[in-house]
Amino acid sequence: MSTAPQDSPNTFSGVGAQAHSIAPASAPAAPRPAARKSNSLALWVRDLLVSAAASVLIITFLYQPVRVEGTSMLPRLEDRDRLFINKFAYHIEAIERSDIVVFHYPRDPEKSYIKRVIALPGDRVRIDRGQVWLNGKRLREPYVPPQYRDTRSMPEMVVPPDCYFMMGDHRSISSDSREFGPVERSLIYGKAVFVYWPAKDAGVLR
């Protein structure tokens, strides 16, 4: 850090050494109460506008609050739960198995579904009386309690390129890729990350 040069306390000139005295500067006048209130109001308005702008940017480009409708993701997500989805996540990271994602329903893009990713592009997936087999191995699914399983079967299929096989955790009532097929990557627009309401269910989604 650089500093500007300053005069020493005493300077000398002429034949004799004379100390130059410096009169103390007068203190600035105290601001009027009205001016203080005006400045405080201006700062408050500025902070409010900055916060509002930041919130809009975050919601528009990063996080978006959504409400769950239905019970196909029980037991983790209940009907009318409120959660945040990250709309930016999949621009910088890959979609992974077991991610909970939000996507446009393939048969009606005006609707949105929330499901769990079970299989990735190129995976071989089949279902035998409710048990999912992935690439020849039985898939462990701790997020599906026994009471939410079903006995449906599906012949083996290979997930097409740029598509993902989705299923709800409540297998006996979920409408998912077993019915409408794998979901194209272009339809997936968010990763569900955090439940914020009701408070008893608040927490990170896994």
First CA to last CA distance, the chain: 49
User: Which member of 115, 174, 177, 191 is catalytic?
Assistant: 115
Please indicate whether residue 98 is annotated as part of the active site.
Answer: no
The position carrying tokens 């500093």 is 3
Please indicate whether residue 137 is annotated as part of the active site.
Answer: no
User: Which member of 2, 38, 40, 72 is catalytic?
Assistant: 72
* CB 182 within 8 Å of CB 164: yes
Tokens describing residue 128: 């035998």
Phi, psi for residue 64 in degrees, rounded to 5: -135, 130
DSSP secondary structure letters along the chain: --------S----SSS--PPP-PPPPPPPPPPHHHHHHHHHHHHHHHHHHHHHHHHHHHHHTEEEEE--SSTTTTTS-TT-EEEEESSHHHHS---TT-EEEEEETTEEEEEEEEEEEE-TT-EEEEETTEEEETTEEPP-TTS-GGG-----EEEEEPPTTEEEEE-SSTTT--SHHHH-PEEGGGEEEEEEEEEESGGG-EE--
Q: Which residues are catalytic?
A: 72, 115
